[in-house]
Chain A
C-alpha cells in the first residue's frame, strides 16, 4: 500500500500513529508533497538530524511556520511579502525584522547566533535552578486542586493543564499572571496562525495579525517598564541583553519573550492533558501509579514518549546529504518526526504500548542537541507535582466523552478538553 502522509490532513490529525508506523517500516525517509519536506521517522535518523546542526539548519522553522524561504528575496515571493506585510503592518516592527538573515527567534537560528541567545537565559533553567520553583509550583497546584475537589463535574484542561504552566511561565518571565487569559488567547492564536487552521486563511481574516499586535504591544510595554525598573526576572535579563551587551535587538527581545511564553505553556498543558488521557485509557497503568507514586517521574517520561506534545520539527539541509540511503538535495526541508521516533520499535520495544514501567529514557520529545528544550526540567517539575495531586483523584473520576478533540495544530498535540465527572 502506498503511503499518503500529509501532516496537515484531517486524517493524520485524528490519529497520526498508524501513519508513523507505516513510514518507519516502509519509507523511513519519505517525501511529503503536502509538507513540502522530507519526513524522517526512525529513531536513529531523527537523532542524526537533530544532532548535526551544521547539516540541518533551524532556519527551516521560519520557512515552515512563516513561509519565509532561505536567502529570502522579496521580489521572487510577492505572496510571502503580502502575508508578512499584513502581519507587521499593525505592529511596532519593520518588515526587515522578520526577514533579515539571523534576525529570528531562538528556535529559528543556528550557532553561533543561537549560542549567543541561548546563553542569555540558559543558566536559569538547570535542574538546580528550577528546583527552587518547586515550592511555588506546589502552591499553584494546591490552589487549582482546591477548586477541582469541590466540583462534581469539570474540564481538567481548563481547571489544571492550562492555568498551571501559564501561571508558572508568567512568573518566571515576569509578566502579570492575572493576564493569563490574554496570554492563552494570544498563544493559541499564534499556534493556530502558524500551525493550525489559521494558516490556511489570511493573516487578517484569521485574526493572526490582530493577535500579534496585542501580544507584541503588551510585551513591548513590559520591556519598557523593566528598562526603567529592573527586576529579578527573565524579561529583565532580555532587556539587559538589548541595552547592555547589545546582543539582542528590540524585536528579538519581544520574539524571545513570545517564544518563552508560548513554549512554556502550550507544551506542558498538553503533557498534562495527554498523560491524564493515557491513564484513563489504560486503567492498569493508572492502578500501578496510584499504588506506587514513586512511578510518577517515569510516568512523565513515558507520557512524553507515548504522546509527544511537539510532534515534529523542521530543518533545512545545508548541503546535499543522504539519510538512510536517500539522497536529499541542498536546501530541501527535512521534518524529523519526534513523535514517531519515540514509538520506534527499533529503540523502544512494543513502542505503541503505554507502559510506565518501561525505561523511556532517550526519548526525543524535548529534542536533542543545541536546541534541546530549555524548559525540560521546568516541564518535568510541573508534570510531577500536577500528577502527584491529580493521579489519586482519577480513580474516582470518569470521562463524560472518551472521544478526544485535539488542539488546532499539526505540530502541537494534546486534548482541547477533558470533561470529568465523579463516579456515582
Chain B
C-alpha cells in the first residue's frame, strides 16, 4: 500500500477545467496564482496544465474551494 501511495505522489498532476461550469469567481487564482489566471474578459487560463509537484497542496485547495466545482486534479 505504501509503495503505491508513493508512486501516486510522483505521478504527473494534470489540471482540468469544466468551462461550462466556470464563472470566473477567481478563487483559484487567489489560492494558486502560479497555475490560474482570470483574463480581462473573464475567461480562465490554466498557466500550468501539468503543474509542478510543489503546487499540489495549493491546487487541491483551489479544487475544493471552487464555488462551482469546475476544477479537477488528476493523478
Binding site for B on A (CB under 8 A): 51, 115, 122-123, 125-129, 361-362, 366, 368-370, 372, 376-377
Q: How far is the CB of B45 from chain A (nearest CB, A)?
A: 14
Residue of A51, A129, A362, A368 touching B42 (CB-CB under 8 A)? A129
For the A-B complex with A361-B65, A368-B69, A376-B67 known, give 11 more contacts whose Cβ atoms are closer than 8 Å.
Answer: A123-B23, A123-B42, A125-B23, A126-B24, A127-B24, A127-B25, A366-B67, A368-B67, A369-B69, A372-B67, A377-B25
Q: Give the chain A neighbours of B23 by CB distance below 8 A.
A: 122-123, 125-126, 372
- Could you tell me if B68 and A369 are in contact, using CB atoms closer than 8 angstroms? yes
C-alpha spacing A127/B24, complex, angstroms: 8
Q: How far is the CB of B63 from chain A (nearest CB, A)?
A: 12
Interface range for B: 10 to 19
Q: Give the chain B neighbours of A362 by CB distance below 8 A.
A: 64-65
A-B contact pairs, 15 of them (CB 8 A): A115-B20, A122-B23, A123-B42, A126-B23, A126-B25, A127-B24, A127-B25, A128-B26, A128-B40, A128-B42, A129-B42, A361-B65, A372-B68, A376-B67, A377-B25
Q: Give the chain A neighbours of B20 by CB distance below 8 A.
A: 115
Q: How far is the CB of A119 from chain B (nearest CB, A)?
A: 9
- Could you tell me if A128 and B64 are in contact, using CB atoms closer than 8 angstroms? no
Q: Give the chain B neighbours of A376 by CB distance below 8 A.
A: 25, 67
Residue of A115, A125, A127, A366 touching B26 (CB-CB under 8 A)? A127
- The reply to whether the CB of B21 lies closer than 8 angstroms to some CB of chain A is yes
Q: Is chain A's binding surface mostly helix, strand, loop or mixed? A: helix
Which of A51, A125, A127, A369 has most chain B Cβ within 10 Å? A127
- The reply to whether the CB of B73 lies closer than 8 angstroms to some CB of chain A is no
- Could you tell me if B64 and A126 are in contact, using CB atoms closer than 8 angstroms? no
C-alpha spacing A125/B23, complex, angstroms: 9
Q: Give the chain B neighbours of A370 by CB distance below 8 A.
A: 21, 68
Q: Give the chain A neighbours of B42 by CB distance below 8 A.
A: 123, 126, 128-129
Residue of B21, B26, B69 touching A126 (CB-CB under 8 A)? B26
- The reply to whether the CB of B38 lies closer than 8 angstroms to some CB of chain A is yes
Q: Give the chain A neighbours of B64 by CB distance below 8 A.
A: 362
Ranked 5 nearest A-B pairs via Cβ: A372-B67, A126-B24, A126-B42, A369-B69, A122-B23
Q: Give the chain A neighbours of B67 by CB distance below 8 A.
A: 366, 368, 372, 376
C-alpha spacing A145/B26, complex, angstroms: 31
Q: How far is the CB of A302 from chain B (nearest CB, A)?
A: 16
Residue of A51, A128, A361 touching B38 (CB-CB under 8 A)? A128
B25-68 interface code vs A (CB 8 A; 1 in, 0 out): 11000000000001010100000000000000000000011011
Q: How far is the CB of B28 from chain A (nearest CB, A)?
A: 12
Q: Give the chain A neighbours of B38 by CB distance below 8 A.
A: 128
Q: How far is the CB of B61 from chain A (nearest CB, A)?
A: 8
CB closest residue in chain B, given A111:
B20
B residues 8-25 in Cβ contact with A at 8 Å: 20-21, 23-25
Q: How far is the CB of B68 from chain A (nearest CB, A)?
A: 5
Q: How far is the CB of A111 from chain B (nearest CB, A)?
A: 9
C-alpha spacing A237/B61, complex, angstroms: 35
Q: Give the chain B neighbours of A122 by CB distance below 8 A.
A: 23
Q: Give the chain A neighbours of B68 by CB distance below 8 A.
A: 369-370, 372
Residue of B25, B26, B69 touching A51 (CB-CB under 8 A)? B69
Q: How far is the CB of A270 from chain B (nearest CB, A)?
A: 20
C-alpha spacing A422/B72, complex, angstroms: 52
C-alpha spacing A368/B66, complex, angstroms: 8
Q: How far is the CB of A424 from chain B (nearest CB, A)?
A: 44
Q: How far is the CB of B3 from chain A (nearest CB, A)?
A: 28
C-alpha spacing A26/B60, complex, angstroms: 30
C-alpha spacing A115/B65, complex, angstroms: 21
C-alpha spacing A51/B70, complex, angstroms: 11
Which of B23, B38, B42 has most chain A Cβ within 10 Å? B23
Q: Give the chain B neighbours of A361 by CB distance below 8 A.
A: 65
CB closest residue in chain B, given A373:
B67
CB closest residue in chain B, given A126:
B24
Q: How far is the CB of B69 from chain A (nearest CB, A)?
A: 5
